[in-house]
Amino acid sequence: MGETFYIFKDGDLKRKDNSIVITSLEGDKKNLKAEVADEIYLFGEVNLNTKLLNFISQKGIILHVFNYYGFYSGSYYPRETNISGYLLVQQVRNYDDEEKRLRIAKEILKASSYNIYRNLRYYNGRGINLEEQMKNIDSLIKKLDYGKSINELMGLEGNIRKIYYSTWNSIVKQDINFEKRVKRPPDNMINSLISFVNSLIYTTVLSEIYKTQLNPTISFLHEPGTKRFSLCLDIAEIFKPLIGERMIFSLLNKNQITEDDFDRESNFIYLKESGKRKILMEYDKRLEQTIAHKDLGRDVSYRYLIRLECYKLIKDIIGEKEYTGFKIWW
Amino acid sequence: MKKITGVMVYYYFVCKRKLWYFNNDVNMEHTSELVGMGKLIDESSYNREKKNILIDETINVDFLKDWKIIHEVKKSRKLDEAAKWQLKYYIWVLRNKEVKIEKGILDYPLLRKREEIFLTTSEEEELMEVLEQIQHIINKDLPPGVINKAFCKKCSYYELCYI
């Protein structure tokens, strides 16, 4: 399994022989092992050239770029080497077949909502009374089964998320005053945190899709978009509760992240470097965390669960086995 | 008729499901450490020879000695039956191109062993049947089922098959 490098320093990123070297403004050099690298995240301001881009393309390394505020800017996605024309055609066919698309979209949402439910159940078992919200979410999940269109499913999903977010004030022990989810720009600490963490999950999913023959632009739940790799959004939906939101709760409840990690003047949009670092350390740790997979009989990491989701989609797309979304089972 | 590569003949004897996936470009090899190791062995052995000769844009022979002996480099002898047939197929293809191939040699540089391979007339018939079977398998709409062998656990397709 390849490694991920997170770079905060400003400086130069260069190819040096067969490795990648980051030289900070102060002149410290650090070698990023190109042979084992899978992804590089750039948070600092870094100079790089085409020689480097050519090199990382050759090695199949994805470069994710974040701007000064920590918002995701984009990825340098090397030329696809895992191409299957056959699979692409099948993927498009499945998207285009309303019935099949709806079935896959439903599976994605059912899994994602179930994982949300599990998060609530966890905190409900720890002395926060969430019975009512759990009951409401449960009945919405049941309605997903009868959804007749993507729009209807999206509406149900919106309602589930609304109930979910309404519980955050009681789940989180800090005084977060979280009313509702706001993006572009986020309007408080929690919204900023969600945006940042979601963009991390998005990039991780993109990196995993890249290792398969799936095409990241053709999605089932989300509309295939021109501005985003929408299949990443589909798959990310399933893992946000497990990887992202559990981490947010834990970071806040252990006071690892507080308002002090944000720039007050920025109206809590700007996450300070210290904050980003803490989140990324924790995020990386979670991705590498493993669980015993009952179907495979081996330990798999959270990161690898994402790839397995891709494999399941591949099997559904070629008509071998119907896709079932990943649900937390432990 | 689709062109059949040596790897396809090899996979036919290893796992027909893998053959089907491979033929549809659903490749898993790039994720496997074992395959990476095989690649390194290939790159680091027999450097005096002219290596990886692509013939007819279909078969990729590890290396040839004087256009008489075909070499195929393998890491282990675990799946030597499949390796033998892969080599026999190469012999057949080249003979059809009027190249006077005497024999094939399976090289195991890690084991410091080698094995000579010949293609007899009766085997040639067997090979024709295999090629027909391969066409049959790759033309199917769905991949053949999981074979559930002990060596599945080491295969780069393991997760795809068992998930």
Per-residue pLDDT reduced to its tens digit, A259-306: 999 988 777 888 899 999 999 999 999 999 999 999 999 999 999 999
pLDDT of residue A14: 93
Cα separation of B134 and B122, whole Å?
A: 19
pLDDT of residue A49: 93
pLDDT band at A226 (very low <50, low <70, confident <90, very high): low
pLDDT of residue A227: 72
E strand segments, chain A = 3-7, 11-16, 19-24, 29-32, 37-42, 46-47, 62-66, 72-76, 290-293, 298-301
Nearest to A211 by CA among B138, B151, B160: B160
Beta-carbon separation of B163 and A85 below 8 A? no
| Count of CB pairs separated by less than 8 Å, A with B | 47
Sign, CA dihedral B159-A214-A243-A142, equals negative
Residues of A in contact with B26 (CB under 8 A): 84, 86-87, 213, 314
Spell out the residues 6+ positions from residue A261 whose beta carbon is closer than 8 angstroms to its own. A271, A272, A274, A275, A278
Residues of B in contact with A84 (CB under 8 A): 24-27
pLDDT of residue A236: 97
* Contact (CB, 8 A) for A271 and A192: yes
B158 interfaces chain A, CB cutoff of 8 Å: yes
Cα angle value A182/A4/B31 (rounded, 5°): 115
A327 interfaces chain B, CB cutoff of 8 Å: no
In this complex, which of A86, A296, A320 lies closest to B159 when CB atoms are compared?
A296
- Mind listing the pLDDT tens digit for each residue in A82-110? 889 999 999 999 999 999 999 999 999 99
A308 to chain B, minimum CA–CA distance in Å? 7
Cα separation of A62 and A203, whole Å?
A: 9
Q: What is the ipTM of this complex?
A: 0.87
B13 interfaces chain A, CB cutoff of 8 Å: no
pLDDT of residue A66: 93
Beta-carbon separation of A295 and B162 below 8 A? yes
Residues of B in contact with A326 (CB under 8 A): none
pLDDT band at A125 (very low <50, low <70, confident <90, very high): very high
Please state the rounded mean pLDDT for residues B20-37.
86
In this complex, which of A297, A308, A319 lies closest to B142 when CB atoms are compared?
A319
**Residue B104 burial (10 A CB sphere; 0-12, 13-18, 19+):** buried
In a 3-state reduction of DSSP, which class is residue B63?
strand
Best B140, B153, B160 residue to mutate vs chain A (most A CBs within 10 Å): B160
Please state the rounded mean pLDDT for residues B12-28.
94
Highest mean pLDDT: which range of A49-63, A220-234, A261-275, B20-34: A49-63
Beta-carbon separation of A315 and B160 below 8 A? yes
In this complex, which of B24, B160, B163 lies closest to A84 when CB atoms are compared?
B24
Residue of chain A whose Cα is closest to the Cα of B158: A296
pLDDT of residue A327: 96
Residues of A in contact with B143 (CB under 8 A): 318, 320
pLDDT of residue A13: 94
Please state the rounded mean pLDDT for residues A177-194.
82
pLDDT band at B46 (very low <50, low <70, confident <90, very high): confident
Please state the rounded mean pLDDT for residues A68-87.
90
- Mind listing the pLDDT tens digit for each residue in A145-183? 999 999 999 999 999 999 999 999 999 998 887 877 787
- Mind listing the pLDDT tens digit for each residue in B105-163? 999 988 999 999 999 999 999 999 999 999 999 999 999 999 999 999 999 999 999 99
Per-residue pLDDT at A198 exceeds 90: yes
Residues of B in contact with A311 (CB under 8 A): 159-160, 163
A312 to chain B, minimum CA–CA distance in Å? 7
* Contact (CB, 8 A) for A87 and B27: no
Beta-carbon separation of B160 and A311 below 8 A? yes
Please state the rounded mean pLDDT for residues B51-59.
84
Largest CA distance in chain B: 47
A89 interfaces chain B, CB cutoff of 8 Å: no
Residues of B in contact with A36 (CB under 8 A): none
A318 to chain B, minimum CA–CA distance in Å? 7
Beta-carbon separation of A86 and B24 below 8 A? yes
Asked which of A69-73, A132-136, A226-230, A300-304 is least confident by mean pLDDT, the reply is: A226-230
pLDDT of residue B17: 96
A296 interfaces chain B, CB cutoff of 8 Å: yes
B24 interfaces chain A, CB cutoff of 8 Å: yes
Beta-carbon separation of B27 and A82 below 8 A? yes
A107 to chain B, minimum CA–CA distance in Å? 16
Asked which of A8-12, A185-189, B60-64 is least confident by mean pLDDT, the reply is: A185-189
Per-residue pLDDT at A242 exceeds 70: yes
pLDDT of residue B1: 62
Cα separation of B79 and B71, whole Å?
A: 16
B52 interfaces chain A, CB cutoff of 8 Å: no
Beta-carbon separation of B30 and A295 below 8 A? no
Q: Which residue has the higher pLDDT, B127 or A35?
A: B127
Q: Which residue has the higher pLDDT, A178 or A21?
A: A21
In a 3-state reduction of DSSP, which class is residue A67?
coil
pLDDT of residue A68: 87
Beta-carbon separation of B143 and A318 below 8 A? yes
